[in-house]
Amino acid sequence: MRHIVVLTGAGISAESGIKTFRDADGLWEGHDIMEVASPQGWERNTKKVLQFYNERRKQLLTVEPNPAHLAIVKLEEKYKVSVVTQNIDDLHERAGSTNVTHLHGELLKVRSTFNENLVMDWRSDLNPGDFCEHNFQLRPHVVWFGEAVPMFPVAAEITEKADILIIIGTSLQVYPAAALIDFVKQGTKIYFIDPKPTISPGPDITVISEKASVGVPNLVDQLLEITT
Ligand code: NAD
């Protein structure tokens, strides 16, 4: 079975109602990203950071996967599919994708500030004074700017095994995630779907300048036909 790796960014969830941040001048829902998504921001104003993620969590629970998330699931009928997402939402899982790696963490999880391996599901508000079993404050299970990306080696290994790489809705500005494209085997077919693509077409690269809800279902239909 051929292996398709799907690398997604904030753009795939835009049409579900979750804003990207590059599209809004580097602001994330009106906030400077360094204030709400960096260890320095956390040190400076823990309450504000918790409040920000509480709002994101509440919003996530009101939105639904869109046709792009759903189309990716259909690929599983004929391909081995690995989704590697920069997103912290759970829309791929809710759509039904069975193999999802989150590079930057998950909004519906929190972890101990004492032991980063102490991770737990969390769907409600997280407040100052919510402690782990060792009596340390819990924080969002999200990779902030300037922090290590522990899942990167796992994602790189998955990408190396791709026969086809589909990249959707990412500005490819956030590293190391953007470097994943360099891990494909020579000759791997790459499709890039984004209304404002940041890479150019090449012998192995097809650029589809469309919104995810249009470009992804079309490409999936083509890829499902190829194998019949
Ligand atoms: P980004 O904000 O840097 O870029 C978004 C990209 O999406 C742009 O290239 C834009 O042209 C494209 N886009 C906008 N609307 C689209 C649509 N309808 N269909 C397809 N593409 C569309 O996002 P990024 O590259 O993913 O990097 C941002 C970081 O911010 C990520 O690390 C991610 O963790 C975080 N983030 C996550 C979410 C989420 O979980 N949904 C939302 C915002 C930011």
Identify whether residues 116 and 180 lie together within a single domain.
Answer: no
Identify whether residues 124 and 218 lie together within a single domain.
Answer: no
Identify whether residues 200 and 119 lie together within a single domain.
Answer: no
CB 204 within 8 A of CB 221: no
Identify whether residues 28 and 77 lie together within a single domain.
Answer: no
DSSP label at 184? Answer: S
Please give the average per-residue pLDDT across 32-38, as a whole number: 92
Any idea what the Cα angle at residue 123 is, between residues 118 and 129, rounded to 5°? 60
The pair of structure tokens assigned to 223 is 């890829």
Q: What percent of the chain has pLDDT over 70?
A: 97
Please give the average per-residue pLDDT across 161-165, as a whole number: 98
pLDDT tens digits for range 132-146:
999 999 999 999 999
Identify whether residues 138 and 221 lie together within a single domain.
Answer: no
Q: For residue 204, what is the domain's CATH number? A: 3.40.50.1220
Burial of 158 per CB tally in 10 Å (0-12, 13-18, 19+): buried
pLDDT, mean over the chain: 95
Q: What pLDDT was estimated at residue 26?
A: 65
Identify whether residues 212 and 124 lie together within a single domain.
Answer: no
CB 6 within 8 A of CB 101: no
> Which of 18-32, 139-153, 175-189 bottoms out in mean pLDDT, i.e. has the lowest?
18-32
User: Does residue 38 carry a pLDDT above 90?
Assistant: yes
Residue 192 CA, ligand 1 centroid: distance in Å: 13
Any idea what the Cα angle at residue 81 is, between residues 95 and 145, rounded to 5°? 75
Residue 211 CA to residue 228 CA, distance in Å, equals 27
CB 39 within 8 A of CB 116: no
Residue 80 CA, ligand 1 centroid: distance in Å: 25
Identify whether residues 99 and 119 lie together within a single domain.
Answer: no
User: Does residue 122 carry a pLDDT above 90?
Assistant: yes
Q: Letter for the amino acid at 102?
A: H
**Ligand 1 first shell, C-beta below 6 A:** 9-15, 18, 20-23, 86-89, 104, 169-171, 173-174, 194-196, 211-212
Please give the average per-residue pLDDT across 164-193, as a whole number: 94
- Confidence band for 226, pLDDT divided at 50, 70 and 90: confident
Q: pTM for the whole thing? A: 0.95
The DSSP bridge partners found for residue 3 are: 80
Please give the average per-residue pLDDT across 17-29, as a whole number: 76
Cβ-based neighbour number of residue 24 at 10 Å: 12
Please give the average per-residue pLDDT across 47-58, as a whole number: 96
